Amino acid sequence: MNRKITLLDGAVGTTLWAIAESHGAKKEPVWKYNIDHPEFVRELTEKYLEAGSEIILANTFGANGPAVKYSSPYDPKDVITAGVNIAKDVLKGSSAKLCMAVGPLTQILEPYGDLEEDECFAIYEEMISAGMESGCEMIMVQTFMDLAMMRIAATVAKRYGVPVFCTMTFEKAGKTMFGNSVSDVIDTLEPLGIDAIGLNCSLGPDLALPIIKEFAEKTTLPIVFKPNAGKPILSADGSTSTAYSAEQFAEDIKPALEYVSYIGGCCGSDATYVKEIKKLL
């Protein structure tokens, strides 16, 4: 295999909640920590840098206008700028790239919901411009179930002249919750000129493998793979654990190395998972 595989980071949200819990802080929308607990976000970034991640996400995923205004007195631009600056400071002097994370909105686009396309464009323009002005080097548009919304976010992201990666979240049957197939995703996003495509969140690495394989068969774009470490399992004593240990996760992700150019983890995975993937590479 002469294709270089770039090591991504692991989960931001679940890892930040674990960090917050270890410091006795409450679980909140994680973008709030950019302002209220920057030390948590710094710790997260330092752990991924130390684990060997070559591309690290800023804590911006859910910091869109409606979400920030709904549950805080903060300005979305200030939240995003703070998140980017924390990561930028940690990564200074390293070769790791800083990537803006852009997630889906909680509103649903017309005709299924009330969100108009123009309004959706404006929300993503406000969000992405803040990340770009703060100094992100690339954009990861991720965890989308609705291809129509993904198209809007990716279109806005492509205006900034930086690499744009797009990853959807799939059900076991190989389609998104909105019924979009791998072919639909490729046919819609490839013409936008995006730089990589694939899957994040959704499933564990073993269950997601057929979907990644299908991407490899149907597109020549580099493929991104950030599967979950499994849905949390609740023990009798009330504690939770992930379905996949770091070692099991790495073992199950191994067959995907044949197809992907970018690899990491999503919900439930932290720096220990990234270290295990690094051993594979």
What is the mean pLDDT of each successive set of 10 residues along the chain, which is 281 residues long? 87 95 95 98 98 98 97 97 98 98 97 96 98 98 98 98 98 95 98 98 92 98 93 59 82 96 95 96 93
pTM for the structure as a whole: 0.94
**What is the distance between the alpha carbons of residues 277 and 247, in angstroms, rounded to a whole number?**
9
Report which of 123, 139, 54, 59 is spatially closest to residue 91, judged by C-alpha positions.
54
What is the residue-wise DSSP string for 37-71? -HHHHHHHHHHHHHHT-SEEE-S-TT--HHHHHHH
Report which of 60, 62, 50 is spatially closest to residue 90, judged by C-alpha positions.
50
Q: Are 256 and 263 in contact (CB under 8 A)?
A: yes
Which segments within 97-195 are labelled E, that is strand? Answer: 97-102, 138-144, 164-168
Q: Give the model's pLDDT for residue 3.
A: 78
Q: Give the model's pLDDT for residue 241.
A: 56
| Integer angstrom CA distances of residue 89 from 45, 162, 166, 220 | 10, 20, 26, 35
DSSP H or E run through 169: none
**What is the distance between the alpha carbons of residues 215 and 222, in angstroms, rounded to a whole number?**
10
Q: What is the pLDDT of residues 127-169, one digit of tens each?
A: 999 999 999 999 999 999 999 999 999 999 999 999 999 999 9
Q: Give the model's pLDDT for residue 171.
A: 94
- CB count in 10 Å sphere of residue 155: 18
| CATH tag, 6-280 | 3.20.20.330
Q: What is the pLDDT of residues 159-196, one digit of tens each?
A: 999 999 999 999 999 999 999 999 999 999 999 999 99
CA atoms within 13 A on the CB side of 35: 16
**What is the distance between the alpha carbons of residues 102 and 136, in angstroms, rounded to a whole number?**
12
Q: Give the model's pLDDT for residue 202.
A: 83
SS3 call for 208: helix
Q: How many helices (H) and strands (E) does the chain have?
A: 11, 10
Print burial letters for 218-230: b (CB count within 10 Å at least 16), e (below 16): bbebbbbbbbbbb
Q: Which residues, 6 or more positions from 128, have their beta carbon under 8 angstroms from its beta carbon?
A: 100, 102, 139, 153, 156, 157, 160
Residues 63/57/100/265 CA torsion (nearest 10 deg) = -90
